[in-house]
Amino acid sequence: MHRIITFVAGTVLGGGVIYAVSRTGKQPTAVPAPMQFERRATPGDNTDNEFLKHGYPGPVSDFMLRSRYAASYNRALRNPNWVAEHLTRDNLKGTADRANSEFKEDKDIPAMFRALLKDYYRSGFDRGHMCPAADAKKDTESMNDTFFLSNIAPQVGKGFNRNYWASLETFVRDLTKSFDDVYCISGPLYLPEKQGDKWFVNYEVIGDPPNVAVPTHFFKVILAKRNNEPAFAIGAFALPNKEIDNDTPLTSFSLPIESIEKAAGLTFFDKVERKVGVVAPLCSKIQCTLEHDAWKKKKRNPK
């Protein structure tokens, strides 16, 4: 069972600073850019005036609550805004096999705003999961839910979706060996690159006619908790959507959570106060390293 709720996202533009992650994996550079903040509302909250007498134009974001994740979908970019998960040692157990699932268009999204299977055909990009299929082995329904295109974004295949990103997904799952509760929010970013003395946001759009934006980067923001410790562990990573050498340390993509918030126009885990004693850096609690291709080994040697 899953539910989908439509809400209106009010947009506020203001000055801010985002951190553009270098495509070489070097330390991020601060650059000025506008920010967007999402405000949940209903059209009725905004139409009680003469200007919107005949309707509220939006923007509208589609909120989805499914078996193994919650998500917000961006109708303009045809990608998720974010996908949120809660992982534990118990809820990762299961025998559902992704070989029995197929990618599918999300019919809960209005047709004119929907990502389509044909958009990805011969696009040169993989259909990259935000909530990984391997996080949803609980049952067939949970596994199938991860194959909605509303949980998918275009990712470079070799060296990223099939390699470095997959290793990062395994890293997040393996956190349940050290923590009792792991919360992970994943999503796309569209970050600027400097060309000459100016900054530009450039991204491809796939489909014929063009329909789905190709993110320049992807993020994972993680909040983890041990039952016997008062403090949360928090970490944030932003990776360029390109082939990444396996020798590149994961810590080179680590950023302050506020940097990703500013870039994405989102707020993460705002019910957790960010002060010493309440939160601690994730990488101070565990070793932030990736074991590449570990997910392949586990697939060959299932427990």
Instruction: Check: CB of residue 215 under 8 Å from CB of residue 154.
Output: yes
Q: Is residue 302's pLDDT more than 80?
A: no
Percent of the chain residues past pLDDT 90, beyond the cut = 76
Instruction: Check: CB of residue 175 under 8 Å from CB of residue 87.
Output: yes
Beta 279-281 vs 232-240: how paired, if at all?
A: parallel
Q: Which residues of 126-152 are buried (b: 16+ CB within 10 A; e: fewer)?
A: bbbbbbbbbbbbbeeebbbbbbbbbbb
The secondary structure of 212-265 as a DSSP string is EE--SEEEEEEEEE-TT-SSEEEEEEEEESS---TTS-GGGGB--HHHHHHHHT
> Residue 24: its pLDDT value, please?
46
pLDDT tens track for 254-271: 999 999 999 999 999 999
* DSSP summary character for residue 145: H
Mean pLDDT of 77-104: 96
> Residue 293: its pLDDT value, please?
74
For residue 35, CA distances in Å to 61, 186, 197, 222, 264 come to 17, 19, 21, 22, 8
CA distance 293 to 137: 19
Percent of the chain residues past pLDDT 70, beyond the cut = 82
Q: Is residue 36's pLDDT more than 80?
A: no
In single-letter form, the type of residue at position 232 comes to: F
Instruction: Check: CB of residue 291 under 8 Å from CB of residue 169.
Output: no
Mean pLDDT of 125-129: 98
Instruction: Check: CB of residue 11 under 8 Å from CB of residue 59.
Output: yes
Catalytic residue among 2, 54, 129, 292: 129
Of the candidate ranges 6-20, 75-89, 191-205, the one whose mean pLDDT is the lowest:
6-20
HSE of 293, CA atoms in CB hemisphere, 13 A: 7
CA distance 98 to 146: 9
86 among known catalytic residues: no
Mean pLDDT of 289-302: 67
Q: What is the pTM of this model?
A: 0.85
Rounded to the nearest integer, the mean pLDDT of the chain is 87
> Residue 20: its pLDDT value, please?
45
pLDDT tens track for 146-191: 999 999 999 999 999 999 999 999 999 999 999 999 999 999 999 9
> Residue 28: its pLDDT value, please?
46
Q: Is residue 287's pLDDT more than 90?
A: yes
Q: Is residue 301's pLDDT more than 90?
A: no
Mean pLDDT of 133-144: 96
Q: Choose between 37 and 1: higher pLDDT.
A: 1
> Residue 47: its pLDDT value, please?
72
Name the maximum alpha-carbon separation found in the chain. 65
> Residue 19: its pLDDT value, please?
44
Q: Is residue 91's pLDDT more than 50?
A: yes
> Residue 37: its pLDDT value, please?
36
Beta bridge partners, 205, equal 213
> Residue 115: its pLDDT value, please?
98
Residue 158 corresponds to which tokens in the numbers above? 């070799």
